[in-house]
Amino acid sequence: FPVLVYIHGGYWQCLSKDESGFAAPPLVSQGVAVVAVGYDTAPKGHMDAMVLQVRRSVAFLVERYSGIRGIYLCGHSAGAHLAAMVLSTDWTEYGVVPDIKGAVLVSGVYDLEPILHTYVNDALNMSREVAQRNSPMLCISPAVPAAAACEVLVAVAQHDSPEFRRQSQEYGQALRAAGWSVSLLDLAGVDHFDIIEKLSEDSYVLTQV
């Protein structure tokens, strides 16, 4: 069975896996297992630790369930950032090589440096070094054959802020330049929140994709 791993948003400081089941019904009805992943949000969690926890959760899934036929990552906002960091993982350190067939990155943040100068960093307390080390834009590896087979969908909402839209565009282009298979999806009539909330609907374009 294929597995969709959902990573929640909330600016790395709110929400949890407990609120992340809304996307499950349409997918489970089609034979897809849905796994909601949690991580220690700030101020308890540090950015390095959050990235490590999400990577470990994917490795755990592979070790625990031998019947998985392809892992698909889906993250929203901060969760899209964490999903993008999973794509840049050196799996030799984890003793497994997950078969990541796709990633749906929704309204994500791919360059953390602009956040250093905002209130969001009050809880995160990131230094410039931490922000750079955990910025997917700066961690893109050339696509190895396995990565080339992974389809990445970078989705953004019409009413997302200009910064979200800019980062989505630039990250998608950078991945493509490195040999990844990337599609950009600009969704009309939605904002930063309902772009993901509508995944509970069977007929919603992102659910279908």
Q: What is the mean pLDDT of residues 1-10?
A: 97
Our answer to whether residue 192 is catalytic in this structure is yes
Marked catalytic residue, from 46, 192, 194, 200? 192
Domain membership flag for residue 207: no
pLDDT of residue 147: 65
Domain membership flag for residue 176: yes
Our answer to whether residue 202 is catalytic in this structure is no
Marked catalytic residue, from 8, 76, 81, 160? 160
Length of the chain in terms of residues written:
209
Q: What are the tens digits of pLDDT across the range 152-193?
A: 999 999 999 999 999 999 999 999 999 999 999 999 999 999
CATH number at residue 133: 3.40.50.1820
Domain membership flag for residue 206: no
Domain membership flag for residue 205: no
Our answer to whether residue 160 is catalytic in this structure is yes
Domain membership flag for residue 32: yes
Contacts of 18 (CB under 8 A, 6+ apart): 36, 38
The pLDDT > 70 percentage for the chain reads 98
Q: What would the DSSP string read from start to end of 107-161? A: S-----GGGGGSTHHHHH---HHHHHHT-GGG-PPP--HHHHTSEEEEEEETTS-
Total structural domains within the chain: 1
Marked catalytic residue, from 20, 77, 107, 135? 77
Domain extent, residue 128, equals 3-200
Q: Is the pLDDT assigned to residue 146 strictly greater than 70?
A: no
